[in-house]
Amino acid sequence: MAYENKDQVKIGLEIHIQLNKLNTKMFCGCRTDYQSDEPNTHTCPICLGLPGALPVVNKKAVECAIKVGLALNCKISEYTQFYRKNYYYPDLPKGFQITQYDYPIAHDGSIIIEGEDGERCVRINRAHMEEDPGRLVHEGSIEHSKYTLVDYNRSGVALLEVVTEPDLQSPKEARRFLDKLRNIIEYLDVSDVNLEGAVRVDANISIMGGQRSETKNISSHKASEKALLYEIVRQKNVLRRGKTVVQETRHFDEAREITVSLRTKEEAHDYRYFPEPDLVPFRIADLAPMIKETLPELPDAQRERFIAQYGIQEEHAKTLTAELKLATFFEEVLFKGADVMLASTWIADLLKGELNYRGKTIDSFSKTDLLEILSLLEKNKITEKSGIEIVRTLLDTQNQSVSRIVKGKGLLRIEGDEVTEMVKQAVEGNKDAVADYKNGKNEALNFIVGAVMKKTRGRADPKKVRELIIQQLHTTQAGINS
Amino acid sequence: MITWQSVPETKRFIETEGAAEAVHRCFERIKQNDFNSFITLNIEDALSVAEHASGGRLCGVPIAIKDNISTHGIQTTCASKILTGYIPPYNATVIERLEREGAVIIGKTNMDEFAMGTSTETSYYGAVENPWNGRCVPGGSSGGSAAALAGGEVPLALGSDTGGSVRCPASFCGVVGLKPTYGAVSRYGLISYANSLEQIGPMATTVADAALLFNVVAGYDKRDSTSVKKQFDTTEPLDMKGMKIGVPGEYFGEGMNSVVEKAVWNAVYSFEDLGAEYKEVSMPHTKYSLAAYYIIAMSEASSNLARFDGLRYGHHAEEGDCHTSFSKTRAEGFGDEVKRRILLGSYALSAGYHDKYYLKALKVRTLVKKDFESAFKTYDMLLAPTMPYPAFKLGEKIKDPLSLYLADVNTVPINLAGVPAVSVPCGFENKLPVGLQLIGDFFDEKTILQAAHKFENSTDFHNRRPGGE
Ligand SMILES: [Zn+2]
C-alpha cells in the first residue's frame, strides 16, 4: 500500500553523538571515562574555562568526525573551522560553546533507510564537531530542589552533531533513521551509544499549513518517535481550531509523553556566532582519503555480503547486521565450522528472539555453547525443541554447560531399537486407534504418533516415529493375515 | 638607592650582594616610589625563590608581571573587581619559561581593567603615576609595568599588547617595549581581551634586555594553537648599511604634537647617519584601522569576558536564580569601560549587524595587513611615532572615551596586521619621554631589535632617568 503522507509531515533531525570512545576530551587532555567517578574530578583549566586557558583540538576527534562524515556519504570540507556560540548557562563555563558554523567537517551526504513506501533517501546537511557542556544535578526534582549542583566532568567531551534535511515523512521513519545512524556509529567504533546521554536528539517537525517546531534533548529513539507522534497530533489540533502553528522550541516531557513550549521564535537566542580566535582554521582535505581507506565494512555492505557470500535469507542478514556484535558473533561461529543455514537461523531467529525476550544482548551468550548446540543439531543428536530448551536454560540459569543440560534433562535424541520398542508398545496399547486407522481413519495415526512422542518427551524424530508406526502396523497386519 | 637598572648591572649586583638582596631592594623602591604600579606583591615567595636561585639566563633577576598573566598561587585580577581573590591553579607558559631561566617574580603590575585602556586609569585598584610626572598617566594598558621600569623598581617586566598596550606605556614612560609578531609568544595563561590581536610583550630599560627577555619567552607552545613553530635569535648583530627604511606619512596625522614629530624625524636622520636609506611610504588603509580594531577587539572581548559569572571564582553576588546572580555579579564586578566594550562588541556581533560591523572590520583588517605586506616587499623596517603625543594628565581624557581611543591611532594597525613593533625613547617634550616605533616584517623581530639597539647606542635618551637620577 502506498504511503500518502496526507498531512505532509516533514521531519528533520539533529543528533548529538558523544564521541565517548576517545580517551580524552575535545580540547584538553582530561580523560573521558568519568562515568563512575566523583563529580568534578575530570577537569582542568581548559574544560573549566579558567581565565587564560586555551583550547587545543583533539586530532583523533576530528578523525572520528571525518569517519562518520564519510560513512554518511558526505563531502569532507577542505578546511574546517571552529566557531563560538555565545550564551549564558551554568553548565557552560566559558559563557560560550565551541562548535562549528561555516566550514563544518562534513556536509552534503545521504543515507538510505526503509521508508513508509520503499526506500527513502535522507539527505544529511552536515556533520560537525562541538564540545559537550557540563551537567546540572538537582537534588530531588528540578521544581523542588533548593539548589543546583554543576558537574564539569562532561564539560568539553567531544560531540558530533549530525543534521538531516527535513526528508523524513513519519515518526516511524525518524526512528528507523536513528536506528540506522546508531548502527553505523557502532560499526565505526566511535561511540558507545549505550552509555547514558551518549545520543541526544533535537527533532524538527512541521505539517501542512504550519511552521516547524523543534523538540529539544530527546534521550532515546523510542522517545523521539513518541515526541513526534505527539507533535503531529498537537499541530493538527492547533490547525483544526483555526489557529496557526508557530515556530518555537519545545521540550519533551518523557514521563507524560507530551511536549511543552520552551520559547517562541521571538524569544530565540541570538548566539552571535563568530570564528573561535584561539583555534586557527585547519586543512582536513588530506586526511579524508587516508581515513576512507581505514573505514570498516559498514552494515549495508555487510548485509549484501552475507547474502551473496553465505546465501542466507535477506531477513536473517538484516537482523544480523543491525547489530555489530551479532554479525561478528555469526561470522565467528561460522569460522569455527558451524553450518551456515543452521547458524543464521539459530542466531537471527531463535537466539535473538530469546535474548530480546529477556532484554539481553549477545554478550550474555557464549559462542562455544552455541557451537555445541549447533553441532548436536547437525548430527541429529537433539531435536530443535531440545535446542531451544538448552538455550533457555543457559540464559536463565548460571554455571551451566550444554553437555550438563543435555545429560541432566536427558535431551539426547532416542533412536533405533528404543524408539522401535516404544512404537511397538504404543501400537499394542492403543488397540482402538489401530482399529480406526485400519478402517481408513488417517487421523488415528497422529494420535499414536502423539502417544510415542509423549513417551519420549519429544526426544524422537516425529517423522521417523510416523514411519515406524506405519511399518509396525503393516507388519502386524501381515502377521494377522498369515 | 638602587645602583643598577639593566640586566647586566643587576647580575653584577647579584654576584656581590646576592639575589635576595636585589629582590629586597626592589620592594624597598616600590614602597618608596608609591606609584601604585603593583596590584599584588609576591614578597615572601620572591625572597625565597631568590635565595635558591641557581642558574639560567635570568638567574635571580627580578621581574614584574602584568596582572593579566596567570601565575600559579599568585592572585591574578586583570585589575578588575570581578577577579578579586582569584588565584590561578596554573602558570602561563611565559611564567614557566621565566622560572626555568631563574627569574624572580616580584609581583603583579597594575593595568587598565582587562587591558581596556590607554592610560591605566580604568583599573579597579586605582590609577598609576607616571614616574616622570606624578600628575601624568603612565600610558596603558601595561602602565604598571612601564612605571615600575621607569621608576627603577625592576629591571624587567612583561606586558601585553592588544592595540598598543606595551608600546604606549613604554613611550610615555621612556622605556623599551616590544609587541612581538602574532604567534611568536604563547598566549597560554594570558587572560584574553582580544585573542586575535594580542601578544605578551617584553619591557625593559634597554633594547638588549628586552631582546633577552623576548628570547626567553618566545617560541612554539603546543598549548597555544596560534603559536608558531619558529626559532628566534635576535642576538646576531645587523649592519645598518643599505638598510631600507619606510616612513609612512599616515602616521603623522592630525593632532600630532610637533615636538614628537621632530623627535621621530631626528631619529630617521640618525638611521641615515648609520648608513640606512629612507623613503616616505603610503599605507592607505591606516585611516580605517581604528574603527576596525575597536570593532574586532570589542567583539572578541564580549565573548571572552562572558566566563566571568561569579560561579566558580572571583567576585560573586548572590541573588535569585543563576541568571539574576550572573547579572548582578557582572554589574558589580565590571567597570564602565569594560561594560561599554562588552555592550558594543555584543552589538557588533548580533544578528542583523554582524555583517555590517564585524565582517566589514575583518575585511578592513585584511586590507591593512596587505598595506604592510606590500611595504615589506620594499622596506626592511618602518619608522613612526609610537604615540601622537607624550603622556597626558591624569583625568584629562578618561571622561571622553573617544579621544582616548584616538590615541591608539599609530599602534593598532600593527596589531591588525600581526607584525612586530618596538617602541624606544627618542626624545623629550616638556620633560616627558617620546617614543619611536620601529615596525618589522612578520617574525623579523631581529631587524627591529638590532636597529633599535644601534639607535640606542647612538643616542642617550635611554640613559636619562626620572628626577635626573
Ligand atoms: Zn580538561
**Does residue B323 belong to the interface with chain A, where contact is any CB pair within 8 Å?**
yes
Tell me how far CA of residue B164 lies from CA of B206, B217, B386, B448, in angstroms: 19, 19, 8, 16
Mean pLDDT across the stretch B251-259?
Answer: 93
Q: pLDDT grade, residue A143 (50/70/90)?
A: low
User: Pick from A53, A94, A277: which is nearest to B195 by CB?
Assistant: A277
* Residue A284, all three cell numbers: 582536513
Which of the four pLDDT bands, split at 50, 70 and 90, describes residue A140? low
A140: region left, alpha or beta (phi > 0 left; psi from -120 to 50 alpha): left
Cα A302 to the center of its chain, rounded Å: 16
Q: When comparing pLDDT for B137 and A269, which is higher?
A: B137
Compute the distance between CA of residue B81 and CA of residue A328 in angstroms, rounded to an integer.
61
CA pseudo-torsion sign A439, A444, A449, A455: negative
pLDDT digits (tens, 9 = 90+) for B231-245: 887 878 888 999 999
The string of pLDDT tens digits covering residues B48-93 is 999 998 899 999 999 999 999 999 999 999 999 999 999 999 999 9
pLDDT, chain A, mean: 91
pLDDT on residue A1: 57
* B350 at interface of A, judged by CB pairs closer than 8 A: yes
> Which 3 state secondary structure label does DSSP give B172?
helix
- Sort residue A373 into left (φ over 0), alpha (ψ -120 to 50) or beta: alpha
Ligand 1 centroid to residue B182 C-alpha, Å:
26
Distance CA B237, CA B42 (A): 37
A380-406 exposure pattern, b = at least 16 Cβ within 10 A, e = fewer: eebbeebbbbbbebbbeeeeeebeebb
Name the residue among A45, A86, A94 with its Cβ closest to that of B90.
A45
Per-residue confidence (pLDDT) for residue A479, from 0 to 100 = 45
Phi-psi region at A332: left, alpha or beta (left = phi > 0; alpha = psi -120 to 50)? alpha
CA distance A255 to B432: 74
pLDDT grade for B2, boundaries at 50, 70 and 90:
low
Higher pLDDT, A406 or B391: B391
Mutate to test the interface with A, among B77, B160, B322 (most CBs of A within 10 A): B322
B83 touches chain A (CB under 8 A): yes
What is the spatial distance between Cα B92 and Cα B293, in angstroms, rounded to a whole number?
A: 26
Q: Is the pLDDT of residue B289 over 50?
A: yes
Asked if residue B178 lies in contact with residue B142, where contact means CB atoms within 8 angstroms, the answer is no
Higher-pLDDT residue of A482, A299: A299
In whole angstroms, what is the distance from residue B162 CA to residue B144 CA? 16
Domain edges within chain A: 10-292, 297-409, 416-481
The residue among A263, A271, A278, A280 with the most chain B CBs within 10 A of its CB, best to mutate, is A278
Q: How would you class B236 by CB atoms within 10 Å of its CB: exposed for 0-12, middle for 13-18, buried for 19 or more?
A: exposed
Cβ distance B306 to A94 less than 8 Å, yes or no, reads yes
Best mutation target, B96, B158, B303, to test chain A (most A CBs within 10 A): B303
CA B441 to chain A, closest CA, distance in angstroms equals 21
Alpha-carbon torsion angle A378, A384, A390, A391, nearest 10 = 90
The band of A475, judged by pLDDT with boundaries at 50, 70 and 90, is confident
Which of B:410-469 have CB within 8 Å of A? none
pLDDT number for residue A138: 80
B314, B308 contact by CB (below 8 A): yes
CA B354 to chain centre: 29
State the Cα–Cα distance between residues A397 and A408, nearest whole angstrom: 14
State whether A274 and B303 contact (CB < 8 Å). Answer: yes
Top-tier CATH class for A416-481: mainly alpha
H/E stretch holding A264: strand A258-264
CB atoms within 5 A of ion ligand 1 belong to A 28, 30, 44, 46-47
Whether A288 has a pLDDT exceeding 60, the answer reads: yes
**A31 C-alpha to center of ligand 1: Å?**
8
- Predicted confidence at residue B468, as pLDDT, reads 63
Residues B7-237+384-463: name the CATH superfamily: Amidase signature (AS) domain (3.90.1300.10)
The reported pLDDT for the residue numbered A142 is 62
A36: left (phi over 0), alpha (psi -120 to 50) or beta: alpha
Q: Identify which of B190, B223, B299 has the shortest CB distance to residue A56.
A: B223
Q: What number is the average pLDDT over the span A452-457?
A: 80
Residue of A417 and B238 predicted with greater confidence: B238
| Ligand 1 center to B89 CA (angstroms) | 13
If one counts every other C-beta atom within 10 angstroms of the C-beta of residue A325, the result is 11
CA of B292 to the centre of ligand 1 (A): 34
Asked if A96 and A83 count as a contact pair (C-beta separation under 8 A), the reply is no
The residue of chain B nearest to residue A91, with distances taken between CA atoms, is: B311
Mean pLDDT over the full length of chain B: 96
A438 has pLDDT over 70: yes
- Contact residues, B window 166-205, toward A, CB-based 8 Å cutoff: 187-192, 194-196
Distance A17 CA to ligand 1 centre (A): 19
Using only C-alpha atoms, chain B has a radius of gyration, in whole angstroms, of: 21
Restricting to B residues 273-312, those with a Cβ less than 8 Å away from any Cβ of A are 299-300, 302-303, 305-309, 311-312
Say how many C-beta atoms besides its own lie within 10 A of residue A322's C-beta: 18
**Secondary structure class of B280 (helix, strand, coil):** strand
Instruction: Please answer yes or no on whether A52 and B354 come within 8 Å at the CB atom.
Output: no
Contact assignment for B300 to A277 by CB distance below 8 Å: yes
Angle between helix A402-409 and helix A384-396 axes, rounded to 10 deg: 120
Contacts of B308 in chain A (CB under 8 A): 51, 95
Distance from the B265 Cα atom to the nearest Cα atom in chain A, whole angstroms:
37
Q: For residue A465, what is its C-alpha cell?
A: 516415529
CA of A77 to the centre of ligand 1 (A): 28
The answer, yes or no, to whether residue B228 has pLDDT greater than 50, is yes
The answer to whether residue A414 scores a pLDDT higher than 80 is no
Q: Catalytic positions of B, please?
A: 66, 141, 165
**Distance in Å, alpha carbon of A114 to nearest chain B alpha carbon:** 40
Chain-chain contact of B225 with A54 (C-beta, under 8 angstroms): yes
Least confident of A246-255, A458-467, B400-409: A458-467
Interatomic CA distance for residues A121 and A164, integer angstroms: 11
Alpha carbon of A133 to ligand 1 centroid (Å): 12
Residue B140: what residue type? G
Confidence of residue B326 (pLDDT cuts 50, 70, 90): very high
> What are the chain A neighbours of B192 within 8 Å (beta carbons)?
51-52, 278
pLDDT digits (tens, 9 = 90+) for A316-370: 999 999 999 999 999 999 999 999 999 999 999 999 999 999 999 999 999 999 9
Q: Structural domain boundaries of chain B? A: 7-237+384-463
Local confidence band at A482 (pLDDT 50, 70, 90 cut-offs):
very low
Give me the mean pLDDT over the A386-390 stretch.
91
Residue with cell 571525518: A66
B141 upstream amide cis, omega within 30 of 0: yes
User: What span, in angstroms and rounded, lies between the C-alpha atoms of B217 and B389?
Assistant: 31
Distance A55 CA to ligand 1 centre (A): 9
Q: What is the pLDDT of residue A468?
A: 83
Task: Give the whole-angstrom CA distance, residue B108 versus residue B106.
Answer: 7
Considering only CB atoms, which chain B residues are within 8 Å of A277? 194-196, 226, 300
pLDDT of residue A141: 64
Q: Is A50 in contact with B225 (Cβ distance < 8 A)?
A: no
A84 touching B (Cβ < 8 Å)? yes
Contacts of A272 in chain B (CB under 8 A): 302-303, 346, 349-351, 354
Is A136 in CB contact (< 8 Å) with chain B? no
A28 vs B: CB within 8 A: no
* 8 Å CB contact of B302 and A86: yes
